[in-house]
Amino acid sequence: MKYSINCSLAEGFSLWEKIYAQVSFIGMGVIGTIGIILTDWVWVTPYVLIYWYGIPGIVQRHLNCPRCPHLYEYGDCLQLHPVLTKWFIKKRKTNPFSISEKLIFYSIFILIPTYPIYWLLSNKILLFAFLITAAMWYLGQFIYFCKRCRLRDCPFNRMKILD
């Protein structure tokens, strides 16, 4: 894999960046889960699988984190402490995302902010809080983190990386 030599994030993530990313992402998941439980708890199971297993169990463990140079080359992680993340991942990957990996990746990241909206419609406060945290996370990723990322093969990477 090739990475941009102009990555400002290579020096590591600041405490503020880690707090922003985690508060917005975890807030979105907690609010979505609570909203579904309060409206019709039976439908929380698919969301738990999508969010609470899909992110740590699939995206972090098998898709992005095993390919992330921030973790392996720079010893930093936006998600968790690097030691914990390396323990969680088990095996580093250097191959590009396959078509099925991209499909899984996009499905998870599309369903996380859209699935709970139906159940949140009956509670305007939770809906508003959910939309704020979802907007914070997705805009933070696309506008800030994805424009500076060295993870060349991530489907969200917006940095121009020359071959």
Residue 127's pLDDT is what? 97
pTM above 0.85, yes or no: no
With a cut of 60, say whether residue 4 has pLDDT above it: no
Which pair of tokens denotes residue 53?
Answer: 């297993």
With a cut of 50, say whether residue 125 has pLDDT above it: yes
For residue 110, which phi and psi values (nearest 5 degrees)? -85, -40
Residue 95's pLDDT is what? 87
pLDDT tens for 47-84 read: 999 998 888 888 888 888 888 888 888 888 888 888 88
Residue at token pair 């500076």: 148
Q: Who wins on pLDDT, 58 or 120?
A: 120
Residue 6's pLDDT is what? 53
Mean pLDDT of the chain: 85
| Of 140, 138, 120, 142, the residue nearest 129 (C-alpha) | 120
In the chain, where the domains are located: 8-145
Opening angle at CA 119, ends 117 and 122, nearest 5: 105
How many C-beta atoms lie closer than 10 Å to residue 13's C-beta? 18
With a cut of 50, say whether residue 2 has pLDDT above it: no
| Of 84, 100, 73, the residue nearest 155 (C-alpha) | 100
Provide the sign of the torsion angle of the four alpha carbons 85, 114, 117, 142, taken in this order. positive
Which pair of tokens denotes residue 51?
Answer: 């969010």
